[in-house]
A and B are shown apart, each in its own frame.
Chain A
Amino acid sequence: MTVEIGLDDIEDLAIGSALLGTGGGGDPYIGSLLCREAIGNFGPVRMIDVSQLADDDAVFGAAAMGAPTVMIEKLYSIEDQDRAIRALERYMGRTATAITSLEIGGCNSMMPVAYAAMRGLPIVDGDGMGRAFPQLQMTSFNIGGVKCAPMTLADEHGNVVVFETDSGLKAEELARPLVAAMGAAACMSCYPMTGSEARSTLVPGTLSAAIAIGRAVSGKRHADLAPVERLLAALRELPLYGYANCVFEGKIVEVERVTRDGWVFGTCTMRAPEPSHDAVVTFQNENLTFSIGTELKCVVPDLVMIVDTETAHAIPTERLAYGQRVSVIACSAPRQLTSQEALDVVGPKGFGLDVPYTSVKSLLA
């Protein structure tokens, strides 16, 4: 199946990808402006199913890396993304035949679409996370044995860094200070792979899923339902996520944040109108766990979304504030993220949490 991503899909993609960002991933707004501009200039983007990739296709990942607060000051340019990809193409001696998103959650859903429009390349319907994660090694590509590096970083001045590493974790460790030296907002390309590697490691269908979620939340589908119900209906229709429930509805009564090593850790406590136990979401950039009282109800990599009860739009962790009326959606992660190898990287252990992973479906049963 080949479909196009056009101007009309951008807002839905922004809404859907913010939700899949589970509190992190950055605001897709700036990226959506780049997408509009690129699609306006170069026309719609062809979105291809993973099954349409040929074994020897050259698939390149495109993304922005940096601090969301800096990104909204320095904005972005598609030319910088181009430099990152071209440099990796030169280094690899291969020319990209398709572009993929590394992270569908948040702002990194957008740049690859804008870039694919500019290059006239197809974008693969899928990504490396099926949500948002804070670090480069936390991808289904890495879990599936695709190397993160060689990778490139490009800043707005034309400075480009190419480097190789022995692991995804090392790529993350090297990239982070490089990005800071580039002004804390850079474009990158990594996880260069063949079509067959992409087919076996990508989380498939996430780009069309984000658009479908956005369409439902904005009321273009399931218009007869309330916003939160529309979101649930959209998630349940997607085999990728499948199990989704609204596990709490109430008001935020406390938000605590601390910063350690460049990460923001915190908790968000919520209270329901009918007094029961308080509900708590913990986060490290993205939401990690959801519990009611002392009972754990959902843990990473399963998705914990805090949404505005009124609109079902995502509320990112930095905007959580006392008094907001919120609903918490717990949703099962794509199966690529829940194998034993995957859980070592993106499960509770990958975030230093001392709890075993249990699927949200059994936690809520």
Chain B
Amino acid sequence: MRVGVDVGGTNTDAALIAGREVIASVKAPTSADVGSGIVQAIRAVIETAGVGKDSVTAVMIGTTHFTNAFVQRRDLAKVLAIRIGAPASRGVPPFTGWPDDVRQAVFGGSALVTGGFNYDGKPISTFEPAQVIEAVRQGQAAGISQVAVSCIFSQLNSEQEIRVAEIVAEVAPELSVTLSSELGRVGLLERENAAIMNASLRPLAAVVATAFADALRQLELACPWYVSQNDGTLMSAERLRRHPVLTFAAGPTNSLRGAAWLTGQTDAIVIDVGGTTTDIGVLKGGFPRQSSVHVDIGGVRTNFRMPDILSVGLGGGSIVRHVGDQVTVGPQSVGFRLREEALVFGGSTLTASDIAIASGWADFGDRSLLSELHELDVAAARKVMSDIVADAVDRIKTTADDVPVVLVGGGSMLIQEAPVGVSTLHRPDHAGVANAIGAAIGQVSADVDRIYMIASTDDREAAFAEVRQLATQGVLDAGGLLSELEIVDLEAIPIQYLPGGATRVICRAVSDLASTETDA
């Protein structure tokens, strides 16, 4: 049996899963220290299920902690950025394009050293260890604890980034090093940004990883535990300490994957109604449809693969207002203060939840407190809510055909009727904890993204064989099973304006975790 946990800003959810069945699920408030909320949620779900601790084979945790920390510029460390590739790229040094406030929080110096590679693998200039040592010494003198290393075309050849890590380990072993080649894809600035963001989060990652481990120890759970990544797959505690940035999109991804698992739908629209927003995503073959554009996180440009999510300002806490003779719902929300501010809880703010209760769609709080509400206003607010959803569904749809929709999230009672263009409306049990379920069903994956010179079909086959092999090895290294391994993406993208068939080849492999195989 697996326990999936979703640590959100407000609630920590847990779900216990055996094979294709949800044994139990619970919600508990998120604690300021992260750990005690997790302890409470896991303890509650195990007790509710009435199973022994020994039967838990793995715990998977999804968290928005790092995204929130970066967006709110909280608990960030200063980072020394070292870029290899001078004299190329010098017009656009590290931290270019960062908003002032986050730059201020994270900037710990930057150095551009010689080295780096051209597209064909030839060196740009000679790599000089002395330049790296000089930069590191300066960082040390400034009291920096984190180093982010990037290198031109390092996704083609990571050898010099690794060399820098070795040099740092020699001359300043107290510094932690993040390599861009371990995080990003083609696009130096975006890959480097990911490395800097990651480095800034590593001290926090150490705290959080320790809190997770302590929580499990306190629960006397001896099983391995994992953390959800952007793509719905899992990473180890050790990887979390090194690469916290890979958790950035885990929230929406887990919700989509959880929705797929709960309903068996592999191609559907998923509507996740929360307290403040409704997030709408698309499942394609059981995986979230990825966004094709650059994603800014906290104002910093990255090229992470993120699910394509459309967010609209409708949730259980959305404030309902009269504007002239119109009724509006959201985007302002009372958020986590719903239990103090909503009318049904004795507060003074009319919220979308009050409308749902007045309409008989849900039953919580004190219904009699809604007796003053005018039926016409309630009907008008319902109409506004259903229009918001219908419009959003239409915007994200990819075919003219009617599509199935899966409703999840704590505020899903706000949607009662299938919007236009929807074939079936699925409202699965445990929909309120879809994120935790998404975490529990996580697999392991590996991505490869390289440039090859492809002049013939043989070259192409050789390149494909190599990336397949590398991705497969990556999955095995991450603890995946060879027997369940699947190549889910294999793509060759020719590079424009270059003779000689320079081609970017992308491969992605996914498999089940060896330690969860027995109950799959």
Contacts and interface: CB of A to CB of B under 8 A. Distances in A.
Interface of A: 24, 29-30, 33-34, 36-37, 66-70, 72-80, 134, 156-158, 176-177, 180, 183-185, 251, 257-259, 261-264, 271, 273-275, 285, 310, 318-319, 321-325
A78 B494 CA distance: 28
A261 B499 contact: yes
Contacts of B395: 310, 325
A177 B120 CA distance: 13
Contacts of B71: none
30 contacts: A33-B97, A67-B496, A67-B497, A68-B497, A69-B498, A73-B152, A73-B153, A74-B85, A74-B124, A74-B188, A75-B88, A75-B89, A75-B189, A76-B89, A76-B91, A76-B92, A79-B90, A79-B91, A156-B90, A158-B87, A177-B499, A251-B398, A251-B399, A258-B494, A262-B500, A274-B400, A275-B400, A318-B493, A319-B293, A322-B398
A66 B497 contact: yes
A14 to B, nearest CB: 12
3 A-B pairs closest in CB distance: A77-B91, A259-B494, A323-B398
Interface stretch (B49-57, B433-441, B501-509): B501-509
Which of B188, B301, B494 has the most chain A CB within a 10 Å cutoff?
A: B494
Interface residues of B, number: 44
Interface of B: 85, 87-92, 96-97, 118-120, 122, 124-125, 152-153, 186-189, 282, 284, 289, 292-294, 301, 395, 398-400, 493-504
Main secondary structure of the interface of A (DSSP, over half): mixed
Given A72-B186, A72-B188, A75-B91, A285 B152 contact: no
Given A33-B97, A263-B497, A323-B284, 18 more contacts: A67-B496, A69-B119, A70-B118, A70-B495, A72-B186, A72-B189, A74-B85, A74-B188, A77-B88, A77-B90, A80-B91, A180-B498, A183-B122, A251-B400, A257-B494, A262-B500, A273-B400, A322-B398
Nearest to B504: A69
B454 to A, nearest CB: 8
Given A67-B119, A69-B504, A73-B153, A157 B87 contact: yes
A274 B400 CA distance: 8
Contacts of B124: 74, 156, 183
A180 B499 contact: yes
Best-buried of B119, B289, B395, B496 by chain A (most CB within 10 Å): B496
A176 B495 CA distance: 14
Contacts of A271: 400
Contacts of A157: 87, 125
A69 B496 contact: yes
Contact of A73 (B90, B125, B187, B400): B187
A70 B91 contact: no
A24 B400 CA distance: 29
Contacts of B500: 180, 262
Contacts of A72: 186-189
